[in-house]
Amino acid sequence: MHKRLMMPMAILLTLSLLVLISFPVWGNSQDNLFPITLVDVLNTEVTLLQKPERIISIAPHTTEIIFALGLENKLVGRSEFCNYPLEAENIENIGLMSPLNLEKIISLKPDLVLAYGGYQAKEIPRLRELGFKVLVTEPTSLYEMLATIELISTACGEPKKGRELIANLQERINLITSLNTAITETDRLKVFTGSNYETIWSPGKGTIFDELITLAGGQNIVANLEGWVPVSAELVAQAEPDIIIISSGIMNPEETDKMKQDVIDHPGWSQIPAIRNNQIFTVNEDLFYREGPRLVDGLELLYEIFTQVREK
């Protein structure tokens, strides 16, 4: 990403925050924010009369944001998939992200529930019918993730902590993008993200993974396709990627060595540059799938991988 693109992105971030946050009062005392009305990703107004003290997070990315803000002492419940940081496991487990355990949520008496927009959205109306304040987020880009931090920190009555975290993350993002300004489009290494399953799924245009590949200085071989797309083995062979990224975790639970060997042994792929030159890397999928602060860790990791390959 070239420097000339950074200013428009900053403007987009500012605009997204204006859409997300309705009339916050910025002042020396953060307690005077309340009552406050916020607008979530479902375009629903959520009015908080006072600073929440009991929070349930039913999405991994919001749990990670709460911990990054240093507000974990307010968490009284989290989903079973909220496993980072390790301290999150000390928080009461409310069960699956969907279907939600309403009885458990009711018993914890939360002042605020942080939910995910995707497949969880259909369950949000019932939570609101029960009288809970529910703030729904679903970031689809790195900068929407930053806006989500702003939204959640404001809802928690700690906008200053949010701004400090955002500034730190933005500084790290800017460093990576500035280091890539000299890389021309033709010099960008071609990157394939996927593994050796019967159906190979790879992140295309509009996914956070694709955005991170681009910001880190790579060229995604399926960047011309929209969303997570099934790709053929022939397409991968014809694209001749310089680097193959295999994500491992809950979504791909196999042994990483086996996943890597399966890619190496895939019929018709032996002459792919990434395989011929042993440029196959396994990464923690949470750094690329979870829409929290660790996306920046993922960006930095990709930059390190791309630089390592480029300098060989």
What's the pTM?
A: 0.89
Q: What is the Cα–Cα distance from 137 to 135, expressed in whole angstroms?
A: 7
Q: What is the Cα–Cα distance from 111 to 93, expressed in whole angstroms?
A: 17
- Backbone Cα Rg of the chain: 21
Mean pLDDT of 13-22: 42
> Quick one: pLDDT band at residue 251, thresholds 50, 70, 90?
low
Superfamily classification of domain 3-175:
Nitrogenase molybdenum iron protein domain (3.40.50.1980)
Higher local confidence (pLDDT), 32 or 58? 58
**Is residue 301's pLDDT more than 60?**
yes
Residue of 51, 96, 128 whose CA lies nearest to 104: 96
pLDDT tens column, 148-174: 999 999 999 999 999 999 999 999 999
**Is residue 15's pLDDT more than 50?**
no
Q: Is residue 252 packed enough to be buried (19+ CB in 10 Å), middle (13-18) or exposed (0-12)?
A: middle
Q: Do domains 3-175 and 183-310 have the same CATH topology?
A: yes
pLDDT tens column, 71-128: 999 999 999 999 999 999 999 999 999 999 999 999 999 999 999 998 888 999 999 9
Residue 143's pLDDT is 93
Residue 5's pLDDT is 36
> Quick one: pLDDT band at residue 254, thresholds 50, 70, 90?
low
Label the pairing between strands 36-39 and 45-48.
Answer: antiparallel
Residue of 249, 265, 248 whose CA lies nearest to 196: 265
Handedness of CA 269, 270, 272, 278 (dihedral sign): positive
Does residue 128 contact residue 142 with C-beta atoms inside 8 Å? no
Residue 181's pLDDT is 86
148-175: burial string, b at 16+ Cβ within 10 Å, e else: bbbbbbbbbbbbebbeebbeebbeebee
Q: What is the mean pLDDT of the chain?
A: 89
**Is residue 147's pLDDT more than 90?**
yes
Higher local confidence (pLDDT), 262 or 119? 262
Residue 12's pLDDT is 43
All structural domains of the chain with their residue ranges: 3-175, 183-310
Q: What is the Cα–Cα distance from 59 to 282, expressed in whole angstroms?
A: 24
Q: What is the CATH number of domain 183-310?
A: 3.40.50.1980
